[in-house]
Structure 1
Amino acid sequence: MSDFQPTTAIVTGAESGIGRATAVALAEAGMDVGITYLEDIRGAEDTAAEVRTHGRRAVVMQIDVTDLQRCGQVIDRLAEELGGVDVFVNDAGTGDNAPFLEMTLDQWRHTVATDLDGAFVCIQHAARRMVEAGRGGRIIGITSVHEHQPRVGSAAYDAAKHGLGGLLKTVALELGRHGITVNAVAPGEIATQMTGNEDTDPHPIDRPGVPLGRPGDAREIAAVVAFLASPLASYVTGASYAVDGGMLQMGPQAGSHLQSDDWRQA
């Protein structure tokens, strides 16, 4: 293992869901955390308060990752406030769903600008800080199972997440010589605001088409992010970890749409 010991992290989209759980997990691991939000400042402040219960600093800033001229500046400002950035987690994302023949260019551009263009800018600014500091680093992108498999009605989301996965792999190749690892975490259905189940215990929710039989909890994603951010993951780079209850093994259409457990029978 390396002697990399992270003390500062930035998590975009940390006002709720996976972003919040990740910010708290990194605080538990001993990091001060920069927290970004789009509109929900109360949610971001709640995340910050939870970070502080672990004895760590929290710095909150608003960001619109579709504002490509300014979003990188926010990452720079957070890094300056924190005294550096050892770990950067790109969680901010969205999805506009419509059949391909009905999807508007505005819907396409909104999703791609958020999930891919903004990610490129923010990751680049964080990476430049890490290279300049010369201490190594960790970059982790929250993609989706749809980084790996498509789903009907999600042309823009699928394209953006496939693109983000490819971006992360390329960055892993280029930044390895600086001691910076770059990986993806690809969630399946997680009980968050995006899936309409925020603050819901996922265990009683029945999902016949998922081998583990339920959606995931945001903290189950955060645990994998925390591992990838740690010294224990010093030899992991260019990887994508599906955290999906086995959904990808079923195919994404089956995983989310099967209505019975009949498939379990030989």
Structure 2
Amino acid sequence: MSLPSAPQLLRGQKALVTGANSGIGKATAIALGRAGADVVVNYVAGRDAAEDVVREIESSGVRAYAYEADVSQEDQVGAMVSHMVREFGTVDVLVANAGLQRDAALTDMTVEQWRKVLDVNLTGQFLCAREAAKEFLRRGVVPEVSRSAGKVVCMSSVHQVIPWSGHVNYASSKGGVQMLMATLAQELAPHRIRVNAVAPGAIRTPINRSAWDTPEAESELLRLIPYRRVGDPEDIANVVVALASDLFDYVVGSTIYVDGGMTLFPGFATGG
């Protein structure tokens, strides 16, 4: 999908995007580069895809590199942020996007499936936000770069408020992201650090391909979307760029739903 490029809202800033070699993370990393930021493309598998993203970002005239790290592992997250500070000098923007699904009915779900999703989707965001916040606090506000000392954008989901039968681990992780984000926002705002979240609805990404890759599946999905189209990764990326910019400097502790109105659907309003 072709969308207008954002102006240079983030010129001179340094951004880290986790899970950035595909889907929403890829689109976000590219959009941040087009907005003027130097970008670290984090991935846990698929180096070739990550390097492709790096090349596309660099075509915007900014710097980028790929970094392999499992965001659920404390030592790897610490090493990733330390490496970024050495390479780029600092961190201005963290997009905590990495996430996965391990789906099963409740009675079939294993503890390993439960823990893996919580470890990546929730603990991973905590670890990345903690390490980024240390750098934000160390550096403080640099007025010629941004009015904020740092920005964290947590990637949540409409399933932080919409129950999702058969996905109890994923829905629980995203519900946790909502309270993680709000609590971090409250704690860090006095230091001029802004924490917010984006909650995507149905987006055309590899993780949910079966929901939209046939006309029949897409037709069924569109019944739940008042705007009557499935979202594209760029729809999320554009909101992330805006949230990370000074245009949204007074937005703190908010979740922006990017879902074509999915959370307005009458059945969801009653949990049905």
The TM-score, its normalising length taken from structure 1, stands at 0.88
- Tell me the matched-pair count: 251
Could you tell me which of 34, 39, 49 is aligned with 1:33?
A: 39
Q: How does 1:240-251 map to 2 (within 5 A)?
A: 240-250=255-265
**Inter-partner Cα distance in structure 2 for 1:70 and 1:170:** 24
User: 1:99: how far off?
Assistant: 1.4
Equivalence for 1:9: 15
Q: How does 1:1-266 map to 2 (within 5 A)?
A: 7-135=13-141, 136-196=149-209, 205-206=218-219, 207-250=222-265
The 10-residue stretch of structure 1 (25-34 or 68-77) with the greater mean CA deviation from structure 2? 68-77
Q: Contact 1:151–1:252 at 8 Å: present in 2 too?
A: no
User: 1:66: how far off?
Assistant: 2.4
SS at match of 1:181: strand
Q: Contact 1:11–1:34 at 8 Å: present in 2 too?
A: yes
The TM-score, its normalising length taken from structure 2, stands at 0.86
The 10-residue stretch of structure 1 (102-111 or 208-217) with the greater mean CA deviation from structure 2? 208-217
**Inter-partner Cα distance in structure 2 for 1:32 and 1:90:** 16
Residues 252 and 27 of structure 1, relative CA distance in 2, 3 Å threshold:
farther
**Inter-partner Cα distance in structure 2 for 1:80 and 1:21:** 25
**Inter-partner Cα distance in structure 1 for 2:132 and 2:268:** 35
Residues 11 and 123 of structure 1, relative CA distance in 2, 3 Å threshold:
same
User: 1:251: how far off?
Assistant: 5.9
User: 1:205: how far off?
Assistant: 4.4
Residues 131 and 194 of structure 1, relative CA distance in 2, 3 Å threshold:
same
Offset from partner CA, 1:153-208 (integer Å, 9 cap, x none): 1111111111111111000001111111100000011001111279x8x9x94312
State the one-letter code of the partner of 2:53: T
**Inter-partner Cα distance in structure 1 for 2:187 and 2:86:** 24
**Inter-partner Cα distance in structure 1 for 2:165 and 2:112:** 19
**Inter-partner Cα distance in structure 1 for 2:100 and 2:267:** 18
User: 1:229: how far off?
Assistant: 0.4
User: 1:7: how far off?
Assistant: 1.1
* Amino-acid identity (%): 39
Q: Contact 1:61–1:78 at 8 Å: present in 2 too?
A: no
**Inter-partner Cα distance in structure 2 for 1:251 and 1:127:** 39
User: 1:253: how far off?
Assistant: 6.1
Residues 4 and 194 of structure 1, relative CA distance in 2, 3 Å threshold:
closer
State the one-letter code of the partner of 2:73: D
SS at match of 1:24: helix
State the one-letter code of the partner of 1:81: E
**Inter-partner Cα distance in structure 2 for 1:197 and 1:237:** 35
Q: Contact 1:151–1:253 at 8 Å: present in 2 too?
A: no
**Inter-partner Cα distance in structure 1 for 2:170 and 2:194:** 25
Residues 64 and 251 of structure 1, relative CA distance in 2, 3 Å threshold:
farther
Residues 76 and 127 of structure 1, relative CA distance in 2, 3 Å threshold:
same
Q: What stretches of structure 1 of length at least 5 have no aligned partner?
A: 258-266
Q: What stretches of structure 2 of length at least 5 have no aligned partner?
A: 1-8, 142-148
**Inter-partner Cα distance in structure 2 for 1:108 and 1:76:** 30
